[in-house]
Amino acid sequence: MTGLTRIHAVVTGRVQGVGFRWATLETAERLGLAGWVRNRADGSVELEAQGSPAALDQLRAFLAEGPSWARVDGVAVEERAVREGDAGFTVR
């Protein structure tokens, strides 16, 4: 698992009810990332993603913009411990 990084992110703004999770899933799958994304009760979207630093940088760029119908006000990202054997990306 050398070279992998894992992040936890919370995205705020108009990010629920606009397909944000599904666009995140599509982006993560295209980048070969493992992890999950879900809506939170406070209206934000939360996710964890694991993969190469370059792929995670591309995901961060997507999260900062979101799909065209969303409005991203902020993205809080922190690194997490890599989870051995994590594979696939899911919407929770």
State the residue range of the domain holding 10.
5-85
- The enclosing domain of 49 has a CATH number of 3.30.70.100
CB 28 within 8 A of CB 89: yes
Phi, psi of 76 (to 5 degrees): -105, 120
Name every residue whose Cβ is closer than 8 Å to that of residue 56 and which is 6 or more positions away in sequence: 5, 7, 33, 49
In a domain, 91, yes or no: no
Q: Is residue 92 part of a domain?
A: no
pLDDT score of 19: 97
In the residue annotation, 38 being an active-site residue is answered as: no
Per-residue pLDDT reduced to its tens digit, 30-89? 999 999 999 999 999 999 999 999 999 999 999 999 999 999 999 999 999 999 999 999
- Phi/psi of residue 85, nearest 5 degrees: 80, 0
- Active-site residue, selected from the candidate residues 21, 30, 60, 92: 21
- Name the catalytic one among 14, 39, 60, 83: 39
Give me the number of domains the chain comprises. Answer: 1
71 is catalytic: no
